[in-house]
Amino acid sequence: MALNETLNILLGILTLIAGGGWFVNWKATRRRSDAEATQQEAVGWKAMQEVYEKHFEDMQLITDSVREDRDRLKEDKDMLYKENREWRSRYTDMENQIMDLKRDMARLGRRLEMVLPFTCGVVKCSRRQIVELKDPELEEQKQQMQ
């Protein structure tokens, strides 16, 4: 009888574990929880990937904007350099013209000094003579201009 009771006890335990589904249920629950954890992890990675992609798009927009600003500033700088060169050229031309005018004024002043001794203060003076003065430098400039 002892063998029979022992066999019943073993059979009851075996039925409880295998037949009742406790072990199978525990294994299925564990698999389900592992699958849910994996699913949640995948959802988390997907959300993180979306954040990274959005951040990348934002950085791309910022980079494009900075590049556009840089190109526009480079064009503005080139334009300003060109204008500066033009103004310097005009300034140099104007200085040269001023120097030429000063030279001409000095020459005319010397000619006037040469003519003054031949002038008469009396308006209706009959002894006035026409004096013709020639400046070789002035004649050369006139010929070069023609």
pLDDT digits (tens, 9 = 90+) for 86-109: 999 999 999 999 999 999 999 988
CA dihedral angle for residue 38, residue 42, residue 45, residue 51, rounded to 10 degrees? -150
Q: How far is 127 from 129, CA to CA, in rounded Å?
A: 6
E strand or H helix at 104, and its extent? helix 22-115
pLDDT at 10 over 60: yes
Tell me 1's DSSP state.
-
In 3D, which of 39, 35, 59 has the Cα closest to residue 47? 39
Supply angle C-alpha 65, 68, 71, rounded to 5: 150
Would you call 126 helix, strand, or coil by DSSP? coil
Residue with tokens 């992609």: 53
pLDDT digits (tens, 9 = 90+) for 52-98: 999 999 999 999 999 999 999 999 999 999 999 999 999 999 999 99
Torsion of CA 7, 9, 14, 16, to 10 degrees: 150
Per-residue confidence (pLDDT) for residue 99, from 0 to 100: 95
**Binning pLDDT at 50, 70 and 90, where does residue 130 land?**
low
Query: For residue 21, what pLDDT is reported?
Result: 61
